[in-house]
Amino acid sequence: MADIAAATKSGKVVIRNVGLMLSGDIDRPILDADTIVVHDGVITAVGREKDCDIAQPKLEVDCRRTSVAPGLIDSHVHPVFGDWTPRQNQLGWIDSTMNGGVTTMISAGEVHLPGRPKDIVGLKALAITAQRAFDNFRPGGVKVLAGAPVLEKGMVESDFAELAAAGVKLLGEVGLGSVKAGAEAKTMVAWARRHGIQSTIHTGGPSIPGSGLIDKDVVLEADADIIGHINGGHTALPEAHVCELCEKSARAIEIVHNGNERVAIAAARAALQLKCPHRVILGTDGPAGSGVQPLGILRLVALLSSLAGIPAELVFCFATGNTARQRKLNCGLIEVGRDADFVFMDRAQHSAGRTLLESVQLGDIPGIGLVMIDGIVRCQRSRNTPPAHEVPVCREGHG
Give pLDDT tens digits for 238-271: 999 999 999 999 999 999 999 999 999 999 999 9
Q: Look at residue 173 and tell me whether its pLDDT is greater than 60.
A: yes
Domains in the chain: how many in total?
Answer: 2
3-state SS class at 160: helix
Q: 164 and 60 in one domain?
A: no
Residue 156, C-beta contacts closer than 8 angstroms, at least 6 positions apart:
none
Q: What is the pLDDT of residue 6?
A: 46
Q: Look at residue 208 and tell me whether its pLDDT is greater than 90.
A: no
CA gap 369, 149 in Å, rounded: 36
Q: 216 and 84 in one domain?
A: yes
Q: Look at residue 313 and tell me whether its pLDDT is greater than 60.
A: yes
CA gap 320, 368 in Å, rounded: 16
pLDDT in tens, 106-140: 999 999 999 999 999 999 999 999 999 999 999 99
Q: What is the pTM of this model?
A: 0.96
CB-based contacts of 44-51 (< 8 A; 24+ apart in sequence)? 44/336, 45/336, 46/21, 46/334, 46/335, 46/336, 49/16, 49/17
Q: 51 and 34 in one domain?
A: yes
Q: 244 and 103 in one domain?
A: yes
Query: Is residue 311 in a domain?
Result: no
DSSP 213-234: -B-HHHHHHH--SEETTTT-SS
Q: Look at residue 54 and tell me whether its pLDDT is greater than 70.
A: yes
CA gap 287, 94 in Å, rounded: 10
pLDDT in tens, 356-394: 999 999 999 999 999 999 999 999 999 999 999 999 999
Q: 96 and 53 in one domain?
A: no
Can you tell me the mean pLDDT for 23-50?
98
On whether the CB atoms of residues 350 and 366 are closer than 8 A, the answer is no
Q: 276 and 347 in one domain?
A: no
Q: Among 271, 294, 317, give the residue marking a domain's end.
A: 294
Can you tell me the mean pLDDT for 194-220?
89
Residue count of the chain, please give it: 399
Torsion of CA 377, 381, 385, 388, to 10 degrees: 120
Edge-to-edge strands, sheet with 102-107: 72-77, 102-107, 143-145
Query: Is residue 172 in a domain?
Result: yes
Q: Look at residue 60 and tell me whether its pLDDT is greater than 70.
A: yes
Q: Look at residue 336 and tell me whether its pLDDT is greater than 70.
A: yes
CA gap 239, 51 in Å, rounded: 50
Q: Among 264, 294, 324, give the residue marking a domain's end.
A: 294
Query: Can you give the CATH number for the domain in which 220 is found?
Result: 3.20.20.140
Can you tell me the mean pLDDT for 40-54?
97
Is the dihedral angle over the CA atoms 18, 351, 380, 341 positive or is it negative? positive
Q: What is the pLDDT of residue 210?
A: 63
Can you tell me the mean pLDDT for 53-65?
97
Q: Look at residue 328 and tell me whether its pLDDT is greater than 60.
A: yes
> How would residue 212 be classed by pLDDT, with cut points 50, 70 and 90?
confident
Q: 86 and 34 in one domain?
A: no
Range of the domain at 122: 72-294
Query: Can you give the CATH number for the domain in which 27 is found?
Result: 2.30.40.10
Torsion of CA 293, 299, 300, 305, to 10 degrees: 180
Q: What is the pLDDT of residue 5?
A: 43
